[in-house]
Amino acid sequence: MTSFSDYLRPGAKGHLIGIGGVSMSPLAEVLSGMGLVIRGSDMNESDKVLSLRRKGIEVCIGHDAANIAPDAEFVVRTAAVHDDNVEIVEAHRRGIPVFERTQAWGTLMRDYKNAICIAGTHGKTTTTSMSTHILMAADRDPTVMIGGTLPLLKAGHRVGNGDTIILEACEYYNSFLSFSPTVAVILNIEEDHLDFFKDLEDIKRSFRRFAELVPADRGCVVANIDDKNTMDALAGINRRVMTFGLSPEADVHAENITSNGDQSEFDVYYKGEFFQHIGLQVPGVHNVKNALAATAAAICVGISPNSVKYGLAGFTGAGRRFVFKGKYNGADVYDDYAHHPGELKALFDAVEPLGYKRIIAVFQPHTYTRTKALFGDFVEQLRRPNLTYLAEIYAAREKNTLGISSSDLAREIPNSLYFPTFDELEKSLRWTASPGDLILTIGAGNVYTVGEHIVAKNK
C-alpha cells in the first residue's frame, strides 16, 4: 500500500482537487517549495488561486477528468470532494493513488521538530492565531494553517522555513487522527457534529486517540483542567500532560485578572512561579483561557516569557471572531463566528459587561442536525440578548430531512423575531437600531453580510 511519504521527493507530480481551499492552498505551496511539481483544480477563481498561479502552480477552473495530467503520480482531495467527482473517478480508473488532505498534512508534520495541533469544540481558530503571534514574536518562522484570516498574515496560512508547524485540528470525521502532533492541545470537549459521532463518549474517545498521537518519549499534551470532559478523556494517559486553566491547580494558570472594556490583563503562573504579565486586546474570560492554552503550547516548545508577552499583546482577533464592522445609527456592529451553544455562551459572557444599552443578536443557525441536537441549549443562550433576530438555518452540507426551522427556535425565545429572508431581517434591523446598541451578527454561514450591508448604508 502506497504512503503519501513515498511522493515527497523533488520532481514528483501531484494534482490537488479543491486547491484554492483554506488548507489546500498552503499545502500546494509547501509541496511546491519542496520541489514537487504541483497543479490542481478548483470550482472558482479566487485570490488564493491567483496567488498560486503567481507562484507558478497551474490551476484549472472547474472539475474535468482532463485536468489530471497524463504523468500525474498522486492526487490529494479536500474533504468536500467525494468519490463521484469526475477527477476522483478518473484517478481511480488510471490507478493513481488518492490521498485525503489531512493525510498529506499529517505526513508533512513529521518533517518538523515541533508540530503544534490545536483541537477542541471551541476556540481553535483564536488559539491557533494567538500561538502564531507568539511564534512570530519568537522569530521561529513557522508554517501555519488557520481556519480563518489572521490580520498579521493577511491570510489564513503561512509557509515558513523554521522547524515549527502549527495547525487547527478538527475532530469532524476524525480528521485530526491523520495528524502527527508533538504538541496536542485540547481546549474543550462538548457534543457537536452528531451527524458523525454517536454521542459525547464517542467524541471523548476520538480526542483521547488524538492525544495518543503525541510520541510517548517526547512532546506534550496541553489540556484544559477546567473542562471535565477533557480531563475525563485523558485520564490515565501515558503521555506528558501540561494543564492550563483558571484553577490554581493547573500547570499554567492566570491570577489577578482585570478587565477594561474589551481588554484584559492578568498574570500567568507556571508550576507555581510567576511567568509573565499579559495584556490582551480581545474581551472575555474565554479569551484569557485561549491565551493560557497558547502560552502552555509555547512553553512546550521552549518559547521565552517575553515572546509570549509581546506575541499576545499584538493579537487583536482572528477573522470572524468578534470583528468590528462599523456603526449604524449610533449602534456598534460586530460579527462573530459562534455557531455552537458553548460559543454563544462565551460570546455573551464577554459582551454583557461592556455597558451597551441593548444587545441585539442576529443569529443564523448552522446545519439542521446541530440545531436539532442542541435545540434546548440554543434556546437557553439566545434568550440572553435583549432582542434576538433569527435567520433561517444555513444548510451547509446538509438537506433538511428533519423538518426543522429557525421559526421553531423563535417560538421558544422571548423577545425574538424570525425572518425567512435577509432582506426582511435587514429592514427590521435598520428600523430598530439606535445609539448605544450592540448589534452582533452571529453564525458560521453568510449572516456576516447583514452587518456589512447595514454599515454600508450608513456611509
* Rounded Cα distance, 180 and 215, in Å: 9
Concerning whether 168 is annotated as a catalytic residue, the answer is yes
Cα dihedral 298→300→304→309 (10° resolution): 30
- Nearest Cα residue to 385 out of 456, 335, 343, 438: 438
Phi, psi of 162, deg, nearest 5: -85, -175
Q: Which of 29, 168, 392, 426 is catalytic?
A: 168
The x, y and z cell numbers of residue 250, run together, are 493547573
Query: Is beta strand 387-391 parallel, antiparallel or unpaired with respect to 273-280?
Result: unpaired
Which string of b and e fits 90-127 if b means at least 16 CB within 10 Å? Answer: bbeeeebbbbbbbbbbbbbbeebebbbbbbbbbbbbbb
- Nearest Cα residue to 62 out of 82, 85, 79: 85
Q: Residue 175 in contact with residue 79, Cβ under 8 Å?
A: yes
* Rounded Cα distance, 331 and 219, in Å: 47
Query: Is beta strand 323-328 parallel, antiparallel or unpaired with respect to 331-336?
Result: antiparallel
Q: Which of 78, 102, 121, 125 is catalytic?
A: 125
- CB neighbours (10 Å) of residue 332? 19
Concerning whether 204 is annotated as a catalytic residue, the answer is no
- Nearest Cα residue to 333 out of 194, 450, 428, 252: 450
* Rounded Cα distance, 87 and 69, in Å: 11
* Rounded Cα distance, 378 and 395, in Å: 17
For residue 71, give Cα distances in angstroms to 96, 350, 427: 10, 54, 56
Q: Which of 48, 124, 289, 325 is catalytic?
A: 124
Concerning whether 289 is annotated as a catalytic residue, the answer is no
For residue 251, give Cα distances in angstroms to 123, 241, 256, 301: 20, 9, 16, 15
**Residues identified as active-site:** 124-125, 168
